Chain A
Amino acid sequence: MSGQTFVGQSVKRLEDPDLLRGHGQFLDDLKLPGLLEAAFVRSPLAHARFTSIDTRDAQDMPGVVAIFTAKDLPKVMQGKRILLQVPNPAITNPVTQEPLASEEVCFVGEAVAVVVADTRHAAEDAAERVIVDWEPLPANGHCEQALKPGAGVVHADMQDNVAARFSLGYGDIDKAFKNASHVLHERYEPHRGTGHPMECRGVAAIYDTFAEAFRIWSSTQTPHNTQRGVVDMFDMPEDKIRVITPDVGGGFGPKNQVYPEEMVIPAVAQLLSRPVKWVEDRREHFMTTTQERDQVWELSAASDKCGVILGLKGTLIHDTGAYLPWGTIMPYISAATVPGPYRLGAYKLDITVAFTNMVPTTPLRGAGRPQAVFVMERMCDLIARELGIDAAEVRRRNFIPADSMPYEMGLTYRDGAPIIYDSGDYPEAQAQAMTRAGYDTFSERQREALANNRYIGIGIGNYVEGTGLGPFEGATIRILTNGRVAIYTGATPAGQSHRTTLAQICADQLGVDMSNIDVVVGDTGMMPRGAGTYASRITVNAGSSVQNASIELHGKLLKLAAAKFDVTEDDLKCIGGFVRIKGAQGDSISFSDLAKMTSGTPGYVLPKGITPDLEASAYFTPPQATYSNGSHVAEVGVDPETGLVTILNYTVVHDCGNVINPMLVDGQVQGGVAHGIGNALLERMIYDKDGNPLTTTFADYMMPRADMIPNCNIVHMESPSPLNPLGVKGAGEGGTIPAPAAIIAAVEDALRPFDIRITEFPISPQRIVALIAEAAQEKNGEQSNDAKQ
């Protein structure tokens, strides 16, 4: 240790100078000699069979180089589908996509052919001229509809639309309900849209005929997963497939998949012996990039007369879309997240994963948790309402107390380990959020507002989030002969500031300035093993590896210098890129000279004590997830005439363990909340009942804008994780997870005089107005019934 500290400081980002000058290097900015561009021919139908694809007209179009259908792809790819990333025995139909559909398409946008041309314009012109003899088949545009008897099958060769069934739970659920003084039931329909990074997906590839190897660039969160997919598809060794991620313009989950285009573009580059690039446009993104959509929950809560939850049981239907690229991870996370910060006596959930004729669903920022937190928190609100107890008080009565940490919840998490919350103080998080939000004085404010015909409401969202999942993320740190420090890692940023965070950790250990550190990310050629950026896992995994490797490298630097100066390591310290002998007149040697020494002189033996490896590698493998938590309080105003919701105040208490860079964590939280506000109020991916997407532009699908997102009041609590050397937990998704729960609760609270219940998200102004009208009608009906009686 050098004594200087970057960790814990709001250090400015290493990433910014290039991005601010327009010198970022995103996928579409790649310049390769002789580059061809591709456009895909995609299905206009949600379910159809086809027998012929007529490319004759298209082939003759100017600029067209070649057109490929499934049967034209290399022999090794024939009959193959994309590797299922996370298999699970509960999956009854483990079907993933073909690189190009060969005879049946199962969602709008599924690709059947690819046109390669001199320019993208020419490729798109020709793609429009490809004629496919579509034979429409019955299609399902909703998961509940798909499970009804008599529903058409999503894939023609299936018996039904069940992709997987499983149950999760603990405790004696029957006893809990038998002992209950109150049993409450509700149906919930949460919906999440899609990630919409501002940069769409993209792939470019070269096949090097000399080395018989691929070089593939992909705008992905997980180059090593892409590599695994390509290895499987082309039956080639890893060292012949190098996947590189350039700067990535946002990910949010959907770029954590292996996509058909990542197989097809390398294939056609190989077939043509030319570099080929494909960049997704926004319309394609709406149709073909994975989403999170519908879930249908039926839940019953058993409560005692004080609002203590004795048990929670029910069913969950989860829409997986037409394929299962990421297995059943998302519904599993949903199911395992429900109990959250509460000590439920017993829990039982039966999950059915349904195929539908829509683009597959996979984790999106929050990964099934916003829905789970929504149903749990809404259930707390329902209990509060029915039993006449304050909503915060109901939660207080059910919290896991801080002194029971570590707390074993009773379920197994998706990492295969029992869910053991490692640290955190959930009651304190809510208490701090309430104080900051002025919760205790809110009812007064609400009364005053109502007296002035203004409708304001308050809502709470508490959550616990499994973060920092394994298997691992490694780091190799090397001192280069120019004295610079290079960190290589499989971690692949898409805006999360990995370079800055990892450099902060390393700089503290090696006693160098961050400006002397280069962080090389997302290149399987530079770092052969990696897992990727998802599940809020990079600071925990890669951060810990950088910490461990830095400590080892620091030891090596001292050992080398000790041999050089013939002193003990205790007499030395690293500072400013030098190893110095302690004391005012101490001699020193630069990192650069040490690196040169370890390179040796041709033909000579290395000096005594000098070894040729001025580098260190570490692969931190977490024993289990580490659990972040937080409490959000939203205060909103609602106009009951127009249904317009304005967020007046938004408070976040966030606990992600030790904070490496507060500025960056604040950025993750604020951005996450904006995404959650989108989920609560704006973002709905609408399909008709036959699976046709109806929202395929940003004019139809509403994204959060600067004039509707408030500045959050963010409070950090730091409960260090005992599970990693930095004491850190994930911070990337917590902003999003409880936001729909808190906001919807606040909207319902604001409209208390109208007595409506909101059991869905997002909620649009039209829907709010409709719910108010429905409630009024119901009330009138009751009154007239009363009159009759």
Chain B
Amino acid sequence: MSEGQHTHTVTLTVNGDVHTAEVEDRFSLADFLRKKLGLTGTHLGCEHGVCGACTVLVEGEAVRGCLMLAVQADGQEVTTIEGLADIGGNLNTLQQAFMDNHSLQCGFCTPGILTTLTAFLQDTPDADEISIRKALSGNICRCTGYDTIVRAALSAAATLRAGQS
């Protein structure tokens, strides 16, 4: 920790576990998750809030981990990519749809896309292709050309709807 940098003690619930740590005020939430908690599934692609790779869920909302400071997340509940699969490590519906549809290649942007879609499908269970593409327009994927991601989201939405009815 650099001298002269203000620090705060923060307490966050991350993927169900409570963590308390001292953190420099300037630490982003993504840096905090990666460097302090060792949760390296959250990836940094641009660190200026455009690419969406670092997206995590804060109180269920999709948030850019590079634009939110760790201190802003004090007292809140955070879900990262590591928290999406169940405790046994089984892929959830959306993750399985990604595997089935070849929705990832290098996999670097995938954590942010999964978290973005998790929040979106929660809010929009009847999502159609156009709304999914809009929801994804803040996440850059260089590998896939997006089509297989959209297909996975549509398929996961259908599965989730069927499960609820």
A190 contacts the other chain (Cβ, under 8 Å)?
Answer: no
Tell me the chain B residues, 20-68 only, with Cβ under 8 Å from chain A. Answer: 24, 26-27, 34-35, 38-48, 50-51, 53
Counting chain B CB atoms within 10 Å of each CB, the highest count among A20, A31, A122, A707 belongs to A20
Tell me the chain B residues, 85-139 only, with Cβ under 8 Å from chain A. Answer: 85, 89, 91, 95, 98-100, 102, 104-111, 114, 132-134, 136-137, 139
Chain B residues with Cβ under 8 A from A697's Cβ?
46, 48, 50
A589 contacts the other chain (Cβ, under 8 Å)?
Answer: no
Q: Is the CB of B43 within 8 A of A26?
A: yes
Chain A residues with Cβ under 8 A from B162's Cβ?
none
A19 contacts the other chain (Cβ, under 8 Å)?
Answer: yes
Chain A residues with Cβ under 8 A from B143's Cβ?
198, 250, 495, 667, 671
Q: Tell whether A197 pairs with B137 under 8 Å between CB atoms, given A17-B99, A697-B46.
A: no
The smallest beta-carbon distance between A707 and chain B, in angstroms, is 4
Q: Residue of B at shortest CB range from A678?
A: B142
Give A471 to B17 CA distance when docked, in angstroms. 52
A456 contacts the other chain (Cβ, under 8 Å)?
Answer: no
Q: Is the CB of A699 within 8 A of B48?
A: yes
Give A550 to B149 CA distance when docked, in angstroms. 34
Q: Residue of A at shortest CB range from B100?
A: A12
The smallest beta-carbon distance between A523 and chain B, in angstroms, is 18
Q: Is the CB of B43 within 8 A of A198?
A: yes
Q: Tell whether A121 pairs with B2 under 8 Å between CB atoms, given A21-B41, A671-B145, A674-B146.
A: yes
Q: Tell whether A20 pairs with B104 under 8 Å between CB atoms, given A198-B140, A250-B142, A250-B143.
A: yes
The smallest beta-carbon distance between A693 and chain B, in angstroms, is 15
Chain B residues with Cβ under 8 A from A699's Cβ?
48, 50
Give A663 to B106 CA distance when docked, in angstroms. 15
Q: Tell whether A667 pairs with B146 under 8 Å between CB atoms, given A21-B85, A22-B39, A697-B46.
A: no
Chain B residues with Cβ under 8 A from A62's Cβ?
2-4
Identify A281's interface contact among B4, B27, B47, B81, CB under 8 A.
B47
Looking at chain A's contact residues, is the secondary structure mostly helix, strand, loop, or mixed? loop
Give A198 to B110 CA distance when docked, in angstroms. 10
Q: Tell whether A13 pairs with B102 under 8 Å between CB atoms, given A119-B1, A703-B140.
A: yes
Chain B residues with Cβ under 8 A from A495's Cβ?
105-107, 143
Q: Residue of B at shortest CB range from A710?
A: B147
A705 contacts the other chain (Cβ, under 8 Å)?
Answer: yes
Give A199 to B106 CA distance when docked, in angstroms. 9
Chain A residues with Cβ under 8 A from B139's Cβ?
706
Chain A residues with Cβ under 8 A from B106's Cβ?
197-199, 247-250, 494-495
Chain B residues with Cβ under 8 A from A21's Cβ?
41, 81-82, 84-85, 89, 91, 95
Identify A670's interface contact among B82, B98, B145, CB under 8 A.
B145
Chain B residues with Cβ under 8 A from A28's Cβ?
34, 40, 44
User: How many residue pairs, one in A and one in B, have C-beta atoms under 8 Å apart?
Assistant: 185
B144 contacts the other chain (Cβ, under 8 Å)?
Answer: yes
A424 contacts the other chain (Cβ, under 8 Å)?
Answer: no
B78 contacts the other chain (Cβ, under 8 Å)?
Answer: no
Q: Residue of A at shortest CB range from B44?
A: A28
B156 contacts the other chain (Cβ, under 8 Å)?
Answer: no
B148 contacts the other chain (Cβ, under 8 Å)?
Answer: yes
Q: Residue of B at shortest CB range from A61?
A: B2
Residues 245-262 of A, flagged 1 when their CB comes within 8 A of B and 0 if not, give 001111010000000000
Give A62 to B4 CA distance when docked, in angstroms. 9
Q: Is the CB of A197 within 8 A of B149?
A: no
Q: Residue of B at shortest CB range from A64?
A: B2
A672 contacts the other chain (Cβ, under 8 Å)?
Answer: yes
The smallest beta-carbon distance between B48 and chain A, in angstroms, is 5
B157 contacts the other chain (Cβ, under 8 Å)?
Answer: no
Give A24 to B27 CA distance when docked, in angstroms. 23
The smallest beta-carbon distance between B97 and chain A, in angstroms, is 10
Chain A residues with Cβ under 8 A from B109's Cβ?
198, 249
A712 contacts the other chain (Cβ, under 8 Å)?
Answer: yes
The smallest beta-carbon distance between A493 and chain B, in angstroms, is 8
Q: Tell whether A199 pairs with B45 under 8 Å between CB atoms, given A121-B2, A667-B102, A706-B133.
A: yes
The smallest beta-carbon distance between A106 and chain B, in angstroms, is 26
The smallest beta-carbon distance between B115 and chain A, in angstroms, is 10
Give A495 to B132 CA distance when docked, in angstroms. 24
Identify B144's interface contact among A63, A119, A667, A698, CB under 8 A.
A667
B70 contacts the other chain (Cβ, under 8 Å)?
Answer: no
Q: Is the CB of B100 within 8 A of A198?
A: no
Q: Is the CB of A670 within 8 A of B144?
A: yes
Q: Tell whether A20 pairs with B2 under 8 Å between CB atoms, given A29-B40, A198-B140.
A: no
Q: Residue of A at shortest CB range from B15?
A: A22
Chain B residues with Cβ under 8 A from A660's Cβ?
none
The smallest beta-carbon distance between A597 and chain B, in angstroms, is 36
Give A666 to B53 CA distance when docked, in angstroms. 24
Chain A residues with Cβ under 8 A from B102's Cβ?
12-13, 663-664, 666-667
Chain B residues with Cβ under 8 A from A670's Cβ?
144-145, 147-148
Identify A705's interface contact among B44, B48, B132, B140, CB under 8 A.
B140
Q: Residue of B at shortest CB range from A247?
A: B107
Q: Is the CB of A199 within 8 A of B108?
A: yes
The smallest beta-carbon distance between A742 and chain B, in angstroms, is 15
Q: Is the CB of A705 within 8 A of B105?
A: no
Q: Is the CB of A706 within 8 A of B85?
A: no
B14 contacts the other chain (Cβ, under 8 Å)?
Answer: no
B69 contacts the other chain (Cβ, under 8 Å)?
Answer: no
Q: Is the CB of B137 within 8 A of A282?
A: no
Residues 97-139 of A, flagged 1 when their CB comes within 8 A of B and 0 if not, give 0000000000000000000000101100100000000000000
Q: What are 6 A-to-B residue pairs whose CB atoms are below 8 Å?
A: A22-B40, A122-B2, A495-B143, A496-B105, A674-B144, A709-B145
Sort A-B residue pairs by CB-CB distance and give the 9 closest, nearest first: A22-B41, A249-B108, A495-B106, A19-B107, A22-B81, A674-B145, A495-B105, A62-B3, A706-B136
**B: which residues have CB within 8 A of A?**
1-5, 24, 26-27, 34-35, 38-48, 50-51, 53, 80-82, 84-85, 89, 91, 95, 98-100, 102, 104-111, 114, 132-134, 136-137, 139-150
Given contacts A282-B45, A496-B105, 11 further A-B contacts (CB under 8 A): A12-B102, A21-B91, A22-B39, A22-B80, A28-B44, A119-B1, A198-B109, A670-B147, A699-B50, A709-B146, A712-B147
